[in-house]
Amino acid sequence: DTAVSQTPKYLVTQMGNDKSIKCEQNLGHDTMYWYKQDSKKFLKIMFSYNNKELIINETVPNRFSPKSPDKAHLNLHINSLELGDSAVYFCASSPWSAGQDTQYFGPGTRLTVL
Amino acid sequence: QQQVKQSPQSLIVQKGGISIINCAYENTAFDYFPWYQQFPGKGPALLIAIRPDVSEKKEGRFTISFNKSAKQFSLHIMDSQPGDSATYFCAASQETSGSRLTFGEGTQLTVNP
């Protein structure tokens, strides 16, 4: 059973397009995250939701909009894609936000903007 | 502002050797220090973690050494194996900031057979 799943795994698109990445976790966790990993493998948190409520919103262009329809899902929508958005995006989940618990990462979505 | 600095960027070790990766942090409020391991094409996975009330934690071949006064911590991999070849990330967080992890830049470890 996949704990944290993301779709699609690969996404190739043109500049200016709008795209979405979906994430689902079946671990029963309360908190979910989006991370961006750049070409140098640097991992940076973008957003975090706890029970559908936004709790971390890093300095990210407002072209990025997370949406959490329920606590098992956290989707990432990106408007007007730019070349610099090319990266691997990871979804993760953890039991709750107040503790310092293990974060479980999905397999990643490699986004390439042409 | 990079709050967790990791070195070296890459490391090559022979099978059976000891791999050592170092991290230094700035924020004295950090109170949780995990290490994540990432294989190519996969997401990071927790390897081992330490809190500052102890100076060392060992799990199998993996040991974290923690020096609170120096604001440094390191990962030691004993008897390194080719299967340990991966990218290793140190990270830090503080309880009052909830689940916000600040990652180091990563170390690409290659263990030659």
CA nearest to B88 within chain A: A41
| Percent of chain B that is helix, strand, coil (3-state, to 5) | 5, 55, 40
CA neighbours closer than 13 Å in the CB half-sphere of residue A91: 31
Arithmetic mean of pLDDT over chain B = 93
pLDDT at residue A100, as a whole number: 67
Number of residue pairs across A and B with CB atoms under 8 Å?
62
The whole-angstrom separation of Cα B99 and Cα A103 is 9
In the prediction, which pLDDT does B70 show? 95
A52, B16, B62 from B49: Cα distances, Å: 27, 23, 10
pLDDT score for A25: 96
Could you tell me which of A3, A24, A33, A9 has the C-alpha nearest to residue A112?
A9
pLDDT value of residue B97: 65
pLDDT at A51: 83
Per-residue pLDDT tens for B25-73?
999 988 899 999 999 999 999 999 998 889 999 999 999 999 999 999 9
Residues in chain A within 8 Å Cβ distance of B99: 31, 33, 48, 56, 94, 96-97, 99-101, 103
Identify the DSSP state of A103.
P
Q: Which is nearest to B98 in space by CA: A76, A37, A103?
A: A103
Judge whether B65 is closer than 8 Å to chain A, CB to CB.
no
Q: Are A31 and A95 in contact (CB under 8 A)?
A: yes
CB-based contacts of A61, cutoff 8 Å, min separation 6: none
B11 touches chain A (CB under 8 A): no
Coil, strand or helix at A113: strand
Which of B42, B94, B99 to mutate to test binding with chain A, by most A CBs within 10 Å of its CB? B99
Could you tell me which residues are beta bridge partners of residue B21?
B75
Residues in chain A with pLDDT values less than 50: none
